[in-house]
Amino acid sequence: MLNIALFGPPGAGKGTQSEFLIKKYNLFYISTGDILRSELASETKLGLEAKSIIARGGLVSDEIIVQIIEKTIKNNPDANGFLFDGFPRTFVQAYILEGLMIKLNTKLDLLISIEVPEEESVKRLLLRGETSGRLDDNDEVIRNRLREYDEKTKPVLDFFKEKGNYKAINGVQKIKKVTSDIRKAVNKELEKKQLNIVLFGSPGSGRGSLGRAIAEKYNLEFVSTGDMLDEEISKGSELGMQVKENYENGQLVSDEIVIQLIERKMKQSKNAKGFIFKGYPRTLVQSYILDGILMKHDAIINKIIELEVDTLELVRRLDNRSKTDQCMPYDTSTAKIVRRLEDHTNKTIPVIEKYKEMHDVAVVNGTDSFNDVMDRVSVEIESSFKALD
Counting residues of the chain whose pLDDT is more than 70, the rounded percentage is 95
> Residue 102 contacts by C-beta under 8 Å, 6 or more apart in sequence?
295
Active site residues: 14, 89, 128, 134, 145
CA distance 349 to 343: 9
Q: What is the pLDDT of residue 13?
A: 92
Please determine whether the domains at 2-27+79-191 and 195-388 fall in the same fold group of CATH: yes
Region of residue 334 (left: phi > 0; alpha: psi -120 to 50; beta: else): alpha
Q: Are 94 and 84 in contact (CB under 8 A)?
A: no
Q: Are 338 and 280 in contact (CB under 8 A)?
A: no
pLDDT per residue as tens digits for the range 116-128: 999 999 998 888 8
- Residues 26-49 have a mean pLDDT of 90
State the pTM of this model: 0.61
pLDDT per residue as tens digits for the range 51-88: 888 888 777 888 999 999 999 998 887 788 999 997 89
Q: Are 266 and 297 in contact (CB under 8 A)?
A: yes
Inter-CA distances, 288 with 69, 103, 284, 294, 306, Å: 23, 11, 7, 10, 18
Among residues 299, 304, 359, the alpha carbon closest in space to that of 73 is found at: 359
Q: Is the pLDDT of residue 262 over 90?
A: yes
146-160, 192-206, 309-323, 325-339, range with the lowest pLDDT: 325-339
Q: Is the pLDDT of residue 306 over 90?
A: yes
Q: What is the pLDDT of residue 389?
A: 53
Q: What is the pLDDT of residue 331?
A: 67
Q: Is the pLDDT of residue 198 over 90?
A: yes
CA distance 4 to 334: 52
Q: Is the pLDDT of residue 17 over 90?
A: yes
Q: Is the pLDDT of residue 342 over 80?
A: yes
Q: What is the pLDDT of residue 217?
A: 93
Q: Are 15 and 128 in contact (CB under 8 A)?
A: no
CATH class in words for 195-388: alpha beta
pLDDT per residue as tens digits for the range 274-301: 999 998 998 899 999 998 898 888 788 8
Quick one: CA dihedral 39, 43, 47, 50, positive or negative? positive
Task: Output DSSP code: residue 254.
Answer: P
CATH, domain 2-27+79-191, list 3.40.50.720, 3.40.50.300, 3.40.50.10310, 3.40.640.10: 3.40.50.300
Domain ranges of the chain: 2-27+79-191, 195-388
Q: Are 98 and 108 in contact (CB under 8 A)?
A: yes
Q: Are 273 and 229 in contact (CB under 8 A)?
A: no
Q: What is the pLDDT of residue 272?
A: 83
Q: What is the pLDDT of residue 387?
A: 56
pLDDT per residue as tens digits for the range 45-61: 988 988 888 888 777 88
